[in-house]
Chain A
């Protein structure tokens, strides 16, 4: 149980393109989903916390207009990287929590984004 699906796995696109990443909880309802980015050999960096039906809470330094998050249902959250530039190239990972706050986060497989 507790499977999270993230799509796409890889994206290579030109600078200026907007990219949408989907995160789905397949066998549970996730009231809270999280978006992280990770640079090589570094830890996970939380970008934002997404609660179903409300606006996402962004971490300090993360541009909300640059990284649009939508959590329209209990099983789907999306992250859109708008007008992506090479510095946005990274590994983006979503996670979802099944239930109470002490429950573990379950991660999607991640999206490797390369902006040319």
Chain B
């Protein structure tokens, strides 16, 4: 079956760095997306990886290893506004997104 695993909750300190991991098993693979979702709001797109390696976008970076079925989202210089859920979604052979349950990130001062 198709499956996405990511930690349920993580806690980090303002100004620090945090890495949110995601492992996936899909029928075929056409890329991996990361979204941010604040409580009570809709998800917003953060990043897309389809090739192995690191994609950097400001304070946020996303990494993909296709051979390991693994991705991570790296958040640097954490700010209080980064407190949110982070959703990992893999695109399968039909370009259907398989969603993880999300990682709730709590930032402490």
Contact = CB atoms under 8 A, between A and B. Distances in A.
B32 to A, nearest CB: 11
A46 interface: yes
Nearest to B100: A43
A47 to B, nearest CB: 13
A105 interface: yes
Which bracket fits the contact residues of A? 10 to 19
A46 B97 contact: yes
A109 B35 CA distance: 14
B101 A43 contact: yes
Interface in B14-46: 30-31, 33, 35, 40-45
Interface string A60-71: 000000000000
B87 interface: yes
A101 to B, nearest CB: 4
A106 B95 contact: no
A116 B67 CA distance: 49
Give the interface size bracket for B toward A. 20 to 34
Given A43-B87, A43-B100, A43-B102, A106 B45 contact: yes
B99 interface: yes
B45 A104 contact: yes
A71 B42 CA distance: 21
A102 B43 contact: no
Contacts of A110: 41-42
Nearest to B101: A43
A33 interface: no
Interface in A25-48: 42-44, 46
B43 A44 contact: yes
B31 A42 contact: no
A108 B37 CA distance: 12
B42 A102 contact: no
A81 interface: no
Given A43-B87, A107-B43, A109-B42, A102 B100 contact: no
Interface of A: 6, 42-44, 46, 91, 93, 101-102, 104-110, 112
